[in-house]
């Protein structure tokens, strides 16, 4: 809705305006933030995980950002844009006098270089484990143009770039707020062979650029990455906006939630994300600050229909009836979490209050299993991540344990398949058919329905292992409808169709919490994690 409205309007002033001056003050300008894992890559075009994007948001900027405290799009490197009546042509007026951290000018030619780079990905670069977002949203590449959304980019002088699409995409403007579509220095990408990705789709090897030479226009520049230990950034002295109080950032890898809490309490870090529900009051009692994001995410139990049992709709329905979502939320998820009925949060267009539902009914679950040929139940692999906390799943092991116990009550036994989150777990779930039940989720990136159901179910994917052309076609049609009054009923029907087909079970919309030292006066909390550290205010 917001994307369509902005596309038809003129410009809005950038949310990160500033003279480039520093917000002064005699404070400790080093900010240490505990990350739950290493970033998967320093090249955001090949990332889909939150820890990669947390680093990327400091180093890189896109044409479009978000309005503070919301998921809605706002100008950033593009000061304004205009969209043609047919929705295919988008002309961006760019911010002047911006340079990349290596001195390369940011201009229309650089914009087109980035768009053309994504469109020209080849081979394993197009895999789920790498170009996840481009593949999901833009559908095709130069060597496979039949489904491609992108067509071309033209630079008109230094400050005007026109992106032409091959087919309408209502969420195009909003999608550009994703770190995956941030502007990167063409000079640095060429110098450090950004596209030299080796290995296989299941186990890609990062390029020299992605391991240690990322260059954007953001307020911080990359210093070093000690894998397994920390990522260090420092202030970009040539940044076009407000440099802020924080001059040095250390993202310290602490994978254990208890260790993160202890590090904050001891004063060795300044903050961390995904505070465990049980730790909230304890931190407050010790003088720490706990801030909460508005829920804009989804936790789900995924079904891989490449597995015989899960291919049967009756089995998927049985599992749905077996699960008590209320108990799961109460026992394992943060205060403020809502039970999910579908794969979009309530605030997103197309949310349907009347979708097909599966209230907890153990007897019905057992009857469906019997009808499917499993009167005594069955055993299946249950994949879940370890050594990580995600906004939608702060304690994966607890979530797994809770759900396993519920499934056992109806005769479904699980083979526990724990796996370290990055990169192993995501690679296995998103890139291979070697998994069964699995825990995963999504933090919405921008306010558009396609960013949820389109990303999940817009095409055939190894994660879910099914082919449903009618669903794919319906999602393709809906994402191209720019008028909200026409688009809303399409998505309402799609959300109900998904719940009837049941490719997975939406479990909850968690409300993630962050913990900070008392010296943190304010932090730019964002429902989509668009939190740039030059906006942090410190008192000491």
pLDDT, tens digit, 9 for 90 and up, residues 12-58: 334 444 434 444 458 899 999 999 899 999 999 999 888 999 999 99
- Judge if 305 and 451 occupy the same domain: yes
Low-confidence ranges of the chain (pLDDT < 50): 1-24
- 471-506 burial, b if ≥16 CB within 10 A, otherwise e? beebbbebbbbbeeeebbebbbebbebbbebbbbbb
- Judge if 228 and 310 occupy the same domain: no
- Judge if 219 and 314 occupy the same domain: no
Query: How large is the angle between the packed helices 469-479 and 484-501, nearest 10 degrees?
Result: 160
CATH of the domain at 118: 3.40.190.10
CB atoms within 10 A of CB 112: 18
Predicted pLDDT of residue 533: 98
Q: Is 466 helix (H, G, I), strand (E, B) or coil?
A: coil
Is 277 part of a structural domain of the chain? no
Residue 105 DSSP label = B
* Helices first, then strands: H and E counts in the chain: 18, 23
The tokens for 124 are: 């394993």
- Judge if 234 and 302 occupy the same domain: no
The tokens for 283 are: 């931190």
The tokens for 405 are: 């116990």
- Judge if 94 and 137 occupy the same domain: yes
Looking at the structure of the chain, the number of domains it has is 2
Is 85 part of a structural domain of the chain? yes
Maximum CA extent, the chain: 71
- Judge if 53 and 85 occupy the same domain: yes
- Judge if 303 and 408 occupy the same domain: yes
- Taking the C-alpha atoms of residue 80 and residue 9, their distance in angstroms, rounded to an integer, is 9
Predicted pLDDT of residue 10: 35
Query: How large is the angle between the packed helices 313-322 and 396-408, nearest 10 degrees?
Result: 110
CATH of the domain at 361: 3.10.105.10
Is 265 part of a structural domain of the chain? no
pLDDT by residue (tens digit) across 310-319? 999 999 999 9
Is 346 part of a structural domain of the chain? yes
- Judge if 438 and 526 occupy the same domain: no
Q: What is the pTM of this model?
A: 0.78
Find where tokens 């989150």 sit.
Answer: 421
- Taking the C-alpha atoms of residue 184 and residue 95, their distance in angstroms, rounded to an integer, is 15
- Judge if 212 and 239 occupy the same domain: yes
- Taking the C-alpha atoms of residue 427 and residue 435, their distance in angstroms, rounded to an integer, is 11
Is 292 part of a structural domain of the chain? no
- The range of the structural domain enclosing residue 400 comes to 297-509
- Judge if 210 and 338 occupy the same domain: no
- Judge if 175 and 320 occupy the same domain: no
Predicted pLDDT of residue 136: 84
- Judge if 352 and 399 occupy the same domain: yes
Is 321 part of a structural domain of the chain? yes
β partners of residue 338 = 509
The tokens for 478 are: 């809906």
Predicted pLDDT of residue 421: 86
307: left (phi over 0), alpha (psi -120 to 50) or beta: beta
Is 229 part of a structural domain of the chain? yes
Is 501 part of a structural domain of the chain? yes
- Taking the C-alpha atoms of residue 393 and residue 400, their distance in angstroms, rounded to an integer, is 10
CB atoms within 10 A of CB 10: 9
β partners of residue 289 = 516
């Amino acid at each position: 809705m917001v994307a369509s409205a902005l596309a038809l309007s003129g410009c809005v002033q950038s949310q990160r305006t500033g003279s480039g001056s520093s917000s002064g003050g005699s404070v400790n300008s080093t900010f240490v933030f505990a990350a739950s894992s290493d970033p998967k890559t320093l090249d955001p075009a090949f990332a889909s995980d939150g820890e990669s994007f947390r680093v990327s948001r400091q180093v890189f900027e896109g044409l479009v950002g978000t309005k503070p405290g919301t998921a809605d799009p706002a100008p950033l490197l593009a000061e304004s844009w205009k969209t043609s009546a047919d929705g295919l042509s988008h002309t961006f007026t760019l911010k002047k006098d911006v340079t990349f951290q290596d001195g390369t000018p940011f201009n229309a030619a650089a914009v087109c270089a980035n768009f053309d780079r994504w469109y020209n990905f080849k081979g394993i670069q197009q895999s789920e484990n790498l170009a996840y977002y481009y593949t999901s949203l833009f559908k095709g590449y130069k060597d496979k143009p039949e489904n491609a959304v992108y067509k071309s980019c033209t630079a008109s002088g230094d400050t005007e770039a026109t992106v032409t699409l091959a087919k309408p995409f209502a969420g195009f403007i909003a999608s550009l707020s994703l770190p995956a579509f941030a502007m990167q220095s063409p000079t640095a990408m060429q110098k450090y062979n950004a596209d030299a990705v080796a290995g296989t789709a299941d186990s890609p090897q990062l390029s020299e650029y992605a391991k240690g030479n990322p260059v954007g226009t953001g307020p911080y520049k990359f210093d070093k990455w000690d894998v397994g230990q920390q990522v260090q950034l420092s202030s970009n002295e040539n940044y076009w906006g407000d440099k802020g109080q924080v001059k040095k950032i250390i993202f310290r890898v602490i994978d254990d939630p208890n260790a993160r809490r202890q590090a904050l309490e001891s004063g060795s870090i300044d903050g961390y994300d995904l505070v465990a529900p049980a730790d909230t009051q304890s931190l407050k009692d010790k003088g720490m600050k706990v801030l909460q994001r508005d829920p804009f995410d989804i936790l789900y139990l995924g079904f891989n229909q490449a597995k015989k049992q899960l291919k049967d709709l009756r089995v998927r329905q049985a599992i749905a009836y077996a699960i008590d979502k209320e108990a799961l939320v109460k026992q394992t998820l943060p205060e403020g979490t809502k039970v999910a009925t579908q794969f979009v949060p309530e605030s997103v267009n197309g949310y349907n209050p009347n979708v097909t539902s599966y209230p907890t009914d153990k007897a019905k679950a057992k009857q469906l299993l019997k009808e499917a040929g499993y009167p005594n139940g069955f055993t299946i692999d249950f994949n879940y991540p370890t050594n990580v906390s995600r906004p939608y799943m702060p304690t994966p092991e607890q979530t797994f344990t809770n759900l396993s116990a519920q499934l056992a009550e109806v005769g479904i036994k699980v083979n526990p398949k724990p796996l370290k989150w990055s990169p192993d777990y995501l690679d296995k779930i998103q890139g291979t058919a070697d998994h069964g039940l699995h825990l995963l989720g999504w933090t919405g990136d921008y306010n558009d329905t396609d960013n949820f159901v389109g990303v999940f179910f817009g095409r055939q994917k190894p994660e879910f292992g099914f082919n449903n052309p009618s669903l794919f076609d319906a999602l393709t049609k809906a994402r191209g409808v720019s008028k909200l009054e026409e688009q809303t009923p399409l998505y309402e029907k799609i959300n109900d169709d998904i719940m009837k087909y049941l490719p997975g079970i939406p479990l909850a919309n968690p409300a993630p919490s962050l913990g900070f030292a008392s010296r943190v006066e304010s932090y730019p909390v964002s429902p989509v994690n668009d939190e740039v550290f030059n906006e942090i205010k410190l008192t000491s």
